Amino acid sequence: MEKPERLLYIYTRFLNGKALNKEELAQQLNVNVRFIQRDISDINNFLYEDQEWHGLEGQIVYDNTIEKHRLKIDRYKFKNNRLLNLIFRMKNFTPIIHEDTYNLIRGLNANSNLAEKLLSNKMLSQFNIHREFSESTLIFRIQLAIENNHKISIQLQNTHLTDIIPIYTRYFSDKYWFTYLANGIIYTLDLSAVKEVDQLNDVYDQSVFEDINSVTMLIQDHIWPKIKRQFIIVNTKSVDNGRIADIIISKEECMHIAYEHPTQITLLKPQHYVDDFKAILKSLFNSYNI
């Protein structure tokens, strides 16, 4: 590869937030390591002299922690960038995005200024990119059925479930989960086990949730909006240190949020859930000889 193409190759990857190893680059591009070092020096000179980079203090630095070179920018000058805010929120929600979503964000970012592009590309590089059939398609079908109050059928590997009531989809424990009601019992299913989702013509009424066993929790006020957005709330009662809520939630999710927020959420009922959660805590304490 000639020097102009080589410079573009290296420069583009730095712009996309990648960290590069000189030896690996030299092997990939079939050149001596000294050529790669000169290329990096040339790119650094360009960053210093180019008007587009003034005020951004951009430079290629060697990061000892990862033993690679990367593009460092000390100051990002942007205000109220909605796309960056969206990526940041997505990053807090899930480490996985589909390739179509990745490409869409890259396209929307095309008209951003240089600093915004660099930061968004760096943040995008921290996602795991799915290139196969997207779970988002299943989530869309489930959410559509929920909005329309329609029952659905789902196809698993060797099982077909029909006439079930979809409740919600959530991401926790590094997976997408689907919670549904069948025969008066709430179940939670790893969405990766679902092969197909079909919306049925049968419609259900929201009153169906009043007839099933809910979970009672004491939830502090500052975390209440988060819980209220995610789950179906049957009843609530304000108390001095928060509010007591009856929630439609699976046992798996109940244990998860109680464990995730031990000082903000207290599990009250049913008693066998409380006992199981105590057993989890006891096992954890025993691991530390407490």
Here the CATH number for the domain that contains residue 53 is: 1.10.10.10
Same domain, 126 and 139: no
pLDDT digits (tens, 9 = 90+) for 228-241: 888 889 899 999 88
What mean pLDDT, rounded, does the chain reach?
Answer: 84
- Give the residue from 171, 188, 208 where a domain finishes: 208
Same domain, 117 and 155: no
Main-chain phi, psi angles of 89, to 5 degrees: -65, -40
User: CA 91, CA 81: separation in Å to the nearest integer?
Assistant: 16
Of 131 and 282, the one with more pLDDT: 282
The fraction of the chain above a pLDDT of 90, given in percent, is: 28
Here the CATH number for the domain that contains residue 249 is: 3.30.70
Nearest to 232 by CA among 148, 146, 158: 146
pLDDT at 278: 93
Among 32-36, 134-138, 163-167, 199-203, the range scoring the smallest mean pLDDT is: 134-138
- Give the residue from 92, 110, 130 where a domain finishes: 130
Dihedral through CA 174, CA 180, CA 182, CA 186, nearest 10?
70
pLDDT digits (tens, 9 = 90+) for 238-275: 998 899 999 999 898 999 999 999 899 999 999 999 99
Which long-range contacts does 93-100 make (Cβ < 8 Å, 24+ apart)?
Answer: 93/171, 94/171, 95/126, 95/127, 95/128, 95/174, 96/127, 96/128, 96/129, 96/130, 97/127, 97/128, 97/129, 97/130, 98/129, 98/130, 98/131, 98/134, 98/136, 99/129, 99/130, 99/131, 100/134
List alpha helices for 109-222, DSSP H. Answer: 114-124, 135-148
pLDDT at 81: 62
Amino acid, res. 93 = F
Q: 79 pLDDT band (50/70/90 cuts)?
A: very low
Domain holding 88, by residue range, is: 82-130
Same domain, 266 and 203: no
> pTM of the entire structure?
0.54
Domains contained in the chain, number: 4
Buried b (16+ CB within 10 A) or exposed e, 151-169: bbebeeeeeeeeebbbbbb
Same domain, 67 and 36: yes
Here the CATH number for the domain that contains residue 175 is: 2.30.30
Of 215 and 98, the one with more pLDDT: 215
DSSP label of 152 = E
User: CA 194, CA 203: separation in Å to the nearest integer?
Assistant: 22
Mapped onto helix, strand or coil, the DSSP state of residue 28 is: helix
* Averaged pLDDT, 117-132: 78
Same domain, 204 and 140: yes
Same domain, 111 and 171: no
3-state secondary structure 73-126: ECCCCCCCCHHHHHHHHHHHHCCEEEHHHHHHHHHHHHHCCHHHHHHHHHHHCC
- Give the residue from 208, 231, 254 where a domain finishes: 208
Same domain, 226 and 245: yes
Same domain, 123 and 140: no
